[in-house]
Amino acid sequence: MKKIFLILNILALGMCASCDTEDTAGVSRITNFAVFNLEGDQEILLEKGEEYVEPGATAEEAGEPVEVSASSSGVFRGGELDTDVADIYNVFYTAVNQDGYEASATRTVVVADNGDLVEDISGLYRSTVVRDGTADPQYANMEYVLIWEKSDGTFEISDGIGGYYMFGRNYGVTYAARGATVTVNGLNDYSFGPAFSVGAFGGSAEITEMTVDPDAGTIDFTTVWDAGYSFAVHLEQVEL
């Protein structure tokens, strides 16, 4: 009897092994994702209205060239790359391998218009933010904050808290305090409003004061958020 059971067990194990082999046959394989080579710089700064010349990108799959597609999108104002519209644009390059898997690479193109900081505060800026009096290197020299002139003559700041959460904590654009608006009445004479929210956190925030130094190319402003925080933002204009 023991010998019969032993034979049956051996046959059962053999059948299971055969099933496993059939079920997994051809499932395991290697796929090679496209590897990109971006021509030119990873980041390009342009003055508003300046022509953008696409440097191009190539991609290879296991040493063989594959077709690359390109698209673009503005981070703050949306739309495809337009050098007449100040924004931070992402240019996306994508390629699909023979197994249908997509890979991508990104280039950043920044379009800005640096004003004289007397009547025109628009421009591209690096930002340093101190929250509630506490400074931290994590929130220093963050890139970038944009200011652009709107059709009604007011100026909009891409992030009314200087990129504290978007860049400092790397939470992304959904945590930018968008919609901060400034009216220039004269040098160091500004009006602010309406109130704006702090991205996905919500709430109501407003700029309470602003000081501009045209010679130094700097803007300092304070934003108060009803969540209980105050942000002292220092902007330094970036040469284009």
Confidence at residue 228, expressed as pLDDT on a 0 to 100 scale: 98
pLDDT at residue 203 is higher than 80: yes
Q: What Cα–Cα distance (Å) separates residue 92 from each residue in 21, 61, 63, 104, 154?
A: 42, 18, 22, 7, 32
Mean pLDDT of the chain: 90
Q: Average of pLDDT values for 79-87? A: 97
- Does position 212 have pLDDT exceeding 90, yes or no? yes
Using the predicted structure, report yes or no on whether residue 56 has a pLDDT greater than 70: yes
Distance, C-alpha 127 to centroid of its chain? 15
Residue 2 has pLDDT above 80, yes or no: no
Cβ neighbors of 229 (< 8 A, separation 6 or more) are: 131, 132
The 10s digit of each residue's pLDDT in 132-189 is 999 999 999 999 999 999 999 999 999 999 999 999 999 999 999 999 999 999 999 9
pLDDT given for residue 29 in this prediction: 73
Q: Is pLDDT at 202 greater than 80 in this prediction?
A: yes
pLDDT for res 192? 98
| Cβ atoms of 57 and 36 closer than 8 Å | yes
The predicted pLDDT at position 28 comes to: 59
Domains of the chain as residue ranges with CATH: 35-112 (2.60.40.10), 123-237 (2.40.128)
199: pLDDT strictly greater than 60: yes
pLDDT tens per residue across span 17-50: 444 444 444 555 788 999 999 999 999 999 999 9
Distances 125 to 6, 43, 103, 104 between C-alpha atoms, Å: 79, 15, 32, 28
pLDDT digits (tens, 9 = 90+) for 57-77: 999 998 899 999 999 999 999
Q: What is the DSSP string of 113-163?
A: ----SSS---EEEEEEEEETTB--GGGSSEEEEEEEE-TTS-EEES-TTTT
When computed from its CA atoms, the radius of gyration of the chain, rounded to whole angstroms, is 27
Q: What's the average model confidence in pLDDT over 187-201? A: 98
Give the C-alpha separation, 144 to 146, whole Å. Answer: 6
In the predicted structure, residue 235 carries a pLDDT above the cut 50? yes
Task: Write down the pLDDT at residue 49.
Answer: 97
What percent of the chain shows pLDDT beyond 70? 88
